[in-house]
Structure 1
Amino acid sequence: MPRSLFPAAAAICVALAGAPLAQSGHEPPERDGVGREDSFNEDLGLPYWAPGRGQVDHDAIRRRSLGVLERQFGAFRDQAARLAETSVAFCNGSVSEEEAKTSLRATWLAWAPLDSYQFGPIEQLGAALTVNFWPDKKNFVGRGLKALQSLPPEDQEDPAKVAQGSAAAQGLPAIERLLHTDIEPCPALVGVSGFLDQFSQDIHDAWFSGGGWADVARAAGPNNPVYLSSEEFTKTLYTAVDFGLTRIADSRLGRPLGTFEKSYPRRAEAWRSGLTNEIIVAQLEGIAELVAAGFAGDVRETDRAWILQVIEQAIARTEAIGQPIAEAVQDPQSRVRVESLQAKVRYLQLQTAQDLGPNLGVDTGFSAADGD
């Protein structure tokens, strides 16, 4: 069931039709080729002048960051398409269950970086819960699947019928249960993966098709009801980085950790498939890509290198756990490693507040984590 571009972005783009794109608000000095449009290095994505002079080119940040986001959203769209194809082949008996599980893993890891960007199309389309209904405190995924599997087979494999059902039975956790529990996966697997394939395309189009959210960001200025300046889009991206780290520390680690007296292994994301650790790494890598390539030269090289080094340290601590987090939190010795990772992620969040935000000239705005 195709979804049209959500009304908010469409209305914004109509309102902005014919309006000039916002300027950066200053003209960098033209000397030695610095500050001229033709001095910009498209391959490296470097700003027009050297960083560290108290000047931030928010237009350049937007251009580079949209390139990062388009790659990340495109990767999720492509993996979801492969998952749909693999699911059909699995239910036809032409590929193994292991191949279907491998495709699920690739799709989930492609989604992980996008979990940080809970604004714009992801917010407007309700994509965060549709794609990844988690935490699932009341077993809505199980109940949604039960309702889906009560339908005739031809309805179960129809993405349009899946779209009419519970959001909890439309995304990755539902597919995980179909492939990693003893319930019969087919034909519901075909319908759910087919819906996810289409929905991933909808999300990508809502961001990057004509009149999509990327165009809203490009049109930042006094006539834009969302971004009154390019700086506001930078602030949104920086807030997304902070939110992503909050999700890792508080939800992906804090929920299964519980307390020292009682851990909750089944609160770990994707515990059935054992993907919890890899999802954390993939989200950290997505944040690193935005810092390295999106914010790029508008952050002093020493500060940017330090943030990236701390991210690498967090990834190393994730890998050092040596077992799925759902298992690690149950053993006092391995639990210490999970707590150490959580501490490192919280330290990373502190460092971004001290170094990254001031470099960009912004602080965090309203976050999807506020009020949780």
Structure 2
Amino acid sequence: MFRKPFLAALVLAQGLLAVPAAAQSAPPAQDGVGRLDSFNEELGLPYWAPGRGEVDHDALRRRSLAVLERQFGAFREASAGLAETASAHCAGTADAAEIKAALRDAWLAWAPLDSYQFGPVEQLGAALTVNFWPDKKDFVGRGLKALEALPPEDLADPATIAQGSAATQGLPAIERLLYTDMEACPAIVGISLYMEDLGGALYDAWFAENGWADLANAAGPDNPVYLSPEEFTKTLYTAVDFGLTRVAESRLGRPLGTFDRPFPDQAEAWRSGLSNEIILAQIHGLAEMVRLGFAGDVRETDRGWILEVFEQTEGRLAAIEQPISEAVQEPTSRVRVEAMQTKVRHLQLEMAKNLGPNLGVETGFSAADGD
């Protein structure tokens, strides 16, 4: 059951997503191509790919939506677990290690979703509220100071959190409360309950009746967003590219700064030491979309090569061998961070050369444009 802050937002979102009746009558998949009950054992894909040189955007959409449903479902469950553990911690029945582990789980579950800043994520403002970062002017710290002045019973209420700053509504705020000398309880209860609501609202805005998945499934001339199935493919491909841009320019580029002036405290989640794991989780999520969502319509040689470059990128991250916030401060380890950044950009170029043409799409406008 949604609490009041999200009920209105979800109703609005679903109203915007209502699919025209004419568009709902999309033709079923043909036997042997993108069948819902088929599975490609050889490639480990949910559906058989069409003939080489042919893109079945309907099958690609179904595969991709299956990936998204798992990823959004994982965040819904992790945010609910965080809320439950926060309440237990403030009641004295869960220790500090348990609440920090629950924060880690929620942050790593969110990391893949950071790439999909369109549709429900955009409409519900989730990218800003879940992870208010980068925070160049310390809005998180200032917002938490303002919360300290409120009565404890109000801090445990997600409605109070909903009325405050976006900087105090998500993961960075909880991290600050748990990893500094600030009083964590009961504010972490209200913030985590707010996030639990948001996790559920995001999942339903995507996958409930008349959600964004239904909109994507009904792509066609009468669709208010996707005039053809190819347009949804392009949106997803652009989102994957945007996710890699976020890794290269923000998660690595911001703490790198310059050789003479790195910015270690600009690394995401540096207080909790989660910076590297968040990057790995985002890359894993993007690789999952490529492997299970896109790759059934990609030539096997190109599919194998792109996934190999993903593995090489993860290897570069592992080679850093220390938190990003520490690595950028020493010349030897800084080189490894720069090598990781170069590899991510190389992966983007390889995707543009080998993956996009296979799918018949190029990147479109993304959340990174104009930043």
Instruction: Give the TM bin, normalised by the shorter chain.
Output: over 0.9
1 CA distance for matches of 2:307 and 2:263? 31
Answering whether residue 186 of structure 2 is matched by residue 184 of structure 1, we say no
* Equivalent residue, structure 2, for 1:87: 86
Shift, 1:6, TM fit: 5.3
Q: Is the 8 A contact 1:141 1:174 kept in 2?
A: yes
State whether residues 220 and 230 of structure 1, in contact with CA within 8 Å, keep that contact through their aligned partners in structure 2. yes
Q: 2:247 maps to which residue?
A: 248
What does residue 50 of structure 2 align with? 49
Contact 1:79 1:106 in 2 (8 A): yes
Is 2:57–2:233's contact at 8 Å kept on the other side of the alignment?
yes
1:13 alignment partner in structure 2: 18
TM superposition shift of 1:63: 0.3
Distance, in Å, in 1 between the alignment partners of 2:102 and 2:307 is 29
Give the equivalent residue in structure 2 for 1:354. Answer: 353
Match of 1:271 in 2: 270
**Structure 2 vs 1, CA of residues 62 and 55 (structure 1 numbering), >3 Å: closer, same or farther?**
same
| AA of the residue aligned to 1:7 | L
| Equivalent residue number for residue 151 of structure 1 | 150
What letter matches 1:195 in structure 2?
Y
Give secondary structure in 2 for the equivalent of 1:133.
coil
Gaps of 5+ in 1: none
Deviations 1:33-66 (A, max 9, x none): 855958843874223534x2x2100000100000
Q: How does 1:204-243 map to 2 (within 5 A)?
A: 204-243=203-242
**Is 1:314 the counterpart of 2:318 in the alignment?**
no
> Could you tell me how far apart the structure 1 residues matched to 2:11 and 2:129 are?
15
* Contact 2:23–2:219 (Cα < 8 Å) also in 1: no
- Counterpart Cα distance in 2 of 1:6 and 1:248: 33
Contact 2:32 2:48 (C-alpha < 8 Å) held by counterparts = no
Contact map agreement 2:50 2:56 (CA 8 A) in 1: no
> What's the CA shift for 1:22?
4.2
- Aligned-partner Cα distance in 2 for 1:153–1:183: 14
The one-letter code matched in structure 2 to 1:199 is L
1:92-107 alignment, distance < 5 Å = 92-107=91-106
Deviations 1:256-294 (A, max 9, x none): 001111100011110111101000000000001001111
1:61 paired residue number: 60
Pairwise CA distance, 1:87: 0.6
2:320·2:327 contact (CA, 8 Å) conserved in 1? yes
| Residue correspondences, number | 363
TM-score in terms of structure 2 length: 0.94
Letter of the structure 2 residue corresponding to residue 213 of structure 1: W
Structure-2 change in CA distance of 1:193 and 1:8 (3 Å)? closer
Structure 1 CA distance, aligned partners of 2:326 and 2:138?
A: 21
Write the distance in 2 (CA, Å) between the matches of 1:214 and 1:35: 20
Does the 8 Å contact 1:6/1:121 carry over to 2?
A: no
Deviation at 1:19, TM superposition (A): 3.3
Amino acid in the other structure paired with 1:338: V
In structure 2, relative to structure 1, the CA distance for the partners of 1:6 and 1:331 (3 Å cut) is farther
The alpha-carbon distance between structure 1 residues 279 and 36, as it changes in their structure 2 partners (threshold 3 A), is: closer
Shift of 1:7: 3.0
Separation (CA, whole Å) in 2 of partners of 1:337 and 1:84? 37
Q: Map Cα deviations across residues 216-249 of structure 1 (whole Å, 9 max, x no partner).
A: 1011000012000110000000000100000000
Q: Which amino acid aligns with 1:19?
A: A
Please report how far the alpha carbon of residue 148 of structure 1 lies from its aligned counterpart in structure 2 after TM superposition.
1.5
Question: By how many angstroms is 1:343 displaced?
Answer: 0.4
Match of 2:23, SS state, is: coil
The answer to whether the 8 Å contact 2:17/2:211 transfers is: no
Q: Look up the SS of the partner of 1:105 in the other structure.
A: helix
Distance in 2 separating the partners of 1:12 and 1:158: 30
Give the Cα–Cα distance (whole angstroms) in 1 for the partners of residues 237 and 33 of structure 2.
Answer: 25
Query: What's 2:138 paired with?
Result: 139
Gaps of 5+ in 2: none
* One-letter amino acid of the counterpart of residue 47, structure 2: L
**Cα pair 1:76 1:200 within 8 Å, conserved:** yes
What is the rounded CA distance, in whole Å, between the counterparts of 2:99 and 2:313 in structure 1?
Answer: 30
Identity %: 65
CA 1:152–1:17 in 2, change beyond 3 Å: closer, same or farther? same
Q: Report how far residue 207 of structure 1 moved.
A: 0.6
CA distance in 1, matches of 2:344, 2:166: 30
- Cα distance between partner residues in 1 of 2:35 and 2:164: 51
For 1:12 and 1:179, how far apart are their aligned partners in 2? 38
Distance 1:228 1:7 in 2: 22
